[in-house]
Amino acid sequence: MSMITCPNCQLENEATSQFCVKCGMWLQDFETTQPHEELLASIPEILAQQPRHIPDGHVSLSMTHNGEQVVVPADKPILLGRNTGQVSPEVTMVDFNDYSGYVLGISREHAMIMKRQEGYFLADRDSSNGTMLNGKKLAAFEEHQLQSGDNITLGKLTIIFHFE
């Protein structure tokens, strides 16, 4: 059986594994996985859905794997990740623990959405498994302006970002 060595903990995993079974490290190169456009094309019924009403000062995150929508106040920076109980009161946490975040490769502090005068911006927080915006991998800590309807991929979870 073919094996792949985890670059983080050195554990031997099956070559077909996408994440290390010991530490959760992403084992596959983003360039060799299924193209982002193909993934999106496989879920047209969810992409076609319009988000429910989004109140002023809020944003919506729609998960493409199950169609669930989370509406979040945007009065503070929005931290996308897995809550470990040590979240600063200066941010609003979107906790992906309830959506298999660990299995999907979402870091504790994966990415941040910030509202600026010019609009909303997304930055990867040097996550282990990376963040993509509309299929393009983001460099750590670089801010990228968001448009309503943009696709944000955290590890293996794609969400659709909406605001009014």
Same structural domain, 70 and 148: yes
Same structural domain, 99 and 157: yes
Q: How would residue 133 be classed by pLDDT, with cut points 50, 70 and 90?
A: very high
User: What pLDDT, on a 0 to 100 scale, did the predictor assign at position 48?
Assistant: 36
User: What pLDDT, on a 0 to 100 scale, did the predictor assign at position 1?
Assistant: 63
CA distances to 37, 40, 71, 112, 131 from 109, rounded to whole Å, are 26, 25, 19, 8, 11
What total of structural domains would you count in the chain?
Answer: 2
| Residue range 145-161, pLDDT digits in tens | 999 999 999 999 999 99
| Residue range 63-98, pLDDT digits in tens | 887 778 889 999 999 999 998 788 888 999 999 998
Task: Supply the pTM of this predicted model.
Answer: 0.70
The domain containing residue 22 runs over which residues?
3-33
Same structural domain, 62 and 12: no
